[in-house]
């Protein structure tokens, strides 16, 4: 399956935000789209998710029913338990009892079995992010889309939740597209990193990440040269 966009353009009235993007997303890999805040990354994800059809260009391999979306906000229903929030997205694919079982399994995979009956208001920010991840992985999609998914967390919690995402995605094998403005986060997560300009967003460069997990660490200097190349790409 080819996952790509060609000549993708998006405007809000007279304001152009995406200007002819040509991007390929390798199957079974994590592609990180890295660019300045407000450059149009979320607009691109909404198009990939099939939530916005007011664009020009072609989109292949994405669309409604094919993707799981982790938004910037948790978007958990406050009157539902963690299990019910995960099961809710499965209702059109599974009967109620099976959806409940799958939801419990997904929460167990993110270490939240003991909190499965808790409502979002009783959960920490990191726990709510894990519920959002569980919901995305539970849905039988082809591609995971993540929009600045860890930016609201403190550094220690962010690393913990990112580690969980990387582990689950490696076991799962699905393709993933993550957007962020954080260079270190991009290095920590990505198999491939695509850099975008400020809006209207145009593609700058694409990089394959060849660092091992230790080299990606926030405490490691191994990725410093690569980090400098990414900053140079974004700021050029």
CA 227 – CA 216 distance, rounded (Å): 10
Bridge partners (DSSP) of residue 47 are none
d(CA 63, CA 48): 6
Q: Whole-number mean pLDDT of the chain?
A: 92
With b for 16 or more beta-carbon neighbours within 10 A and e for fewer, the 199-236 pattern comes to bbbbbbeebebeeeeeebbeeeeebeebeebbeebbee
Q: Is 131's pLDDT higher than 80?
A: yes
pTM for this prediction: 0.94
pLDDT band at 92; cut points 50, 70, 90: confident
Q: Answer whether the bond into residue 136 is a cis peptide, omega within 30°.
A: no
pLDDT at 137: 96
The CA distance from 220 to 59, in Å, is 37
pLDDT number for residue 222: 81
Q: Higher model confidence: residue 217 or residue 49?
A: 49
Percentage, residues of the chain above pLDDT 70: 100
What average pLDDT does this structure show over 76-91? 95
- pLDDT bin (cut points 50, 70, 90) of residue 1 is low
DSSP-derived secondary structure for 82-104: HHHHHHHTTTTTS-HHHHHHHHH
Q: Could you report the per-residue pLDDT of 31-59, keeping only the tens digit for each?
A: 999 998 888 899 999 999 999 999 999 99
For the chain, domain boundaries: 4-66+142-235, 77-140
Which CATH architecture best describes the domain 4-66+142-235? 3-Layer(aba) Sandwich (3.40)
Rounded mean pLDDT, 154-172: 93
Alpha helices in the chain (DSSP H): 41-48, 82-88, 96-109, 125-138, 155-172, 183-189, 213-216, 224-235
* Residue 217, pLDDT score: 85
pLDDT digits (tens, 9 = 90+) for 114-125: 999 999 999 999
If you average pLDDT over residues 78-107, what whole number do you get?
93
Q: Phi/psi at 57 (nearest 5 deg)?
A: 110, -175
Confidence label for 144 from pLDDT (cuts 50, 70 and 90): very high
Residues 142, 194: Cα–Cα separation, whole Å: 21
Does the structure show a pLDDT above 80 at 105? yes
pLDDT tens digits, residue range 194-205? 999 888 899 999
pLDDT over 90 at 183, yes or no: yes
Reference 216, options 142, 163, 137; nearest CA is 163
Q: How confident is the model at residue 138, as a pLDDT?
A: 95
């Amino acid at each position: 399956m080819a996952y790509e966009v060609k000549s993708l353009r998006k405007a809000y009235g007279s304001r152009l935000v995406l200007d002819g993007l040509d991007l390929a997303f390798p199957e079974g890999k994590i592609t990180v789209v890295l660019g300045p805040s407000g450059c149009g990354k979320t607009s691109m994800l909404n198009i990939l998710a099939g939530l916005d059809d007011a664009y020009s260009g072609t989109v292949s391999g994405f669309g409604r029913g094919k993707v799981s979306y982790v938004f910037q906000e948790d978007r958990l229903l406050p009157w539902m338990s963690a299990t019910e929030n995960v099961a809710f997205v499965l209702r059109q694919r599974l009967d109620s009892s099976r959806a409940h079982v799958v939801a419990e399994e997904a929460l167990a995979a993110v270490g939240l079995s003991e909190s499965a009956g808790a409502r979002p208001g009783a959960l920490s920010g990191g726990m709510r992010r894990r519920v959002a991840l569980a919901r995305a992985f539970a849905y039988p999609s082809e591609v995971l889309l993540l929009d600045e998914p860890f930016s609201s967390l403190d550094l220690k919690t962010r690393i913990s939740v990112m580690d969980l995402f990387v582990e689950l995605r490696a076991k799962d094998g699905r393709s993933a597209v993550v957007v962020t403005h954080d260079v270190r986060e991009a290095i920590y997560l990505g198999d491939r990193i695509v850099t975008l300009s400020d809006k209207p967003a145009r593609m700058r460069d694409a990089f394959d990440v060849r660092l091992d997990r230790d080299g990606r660490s926030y405490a490691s200097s191994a990725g410093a040269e690569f980090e400098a190349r990414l900053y140079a790409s974004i700021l050029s």
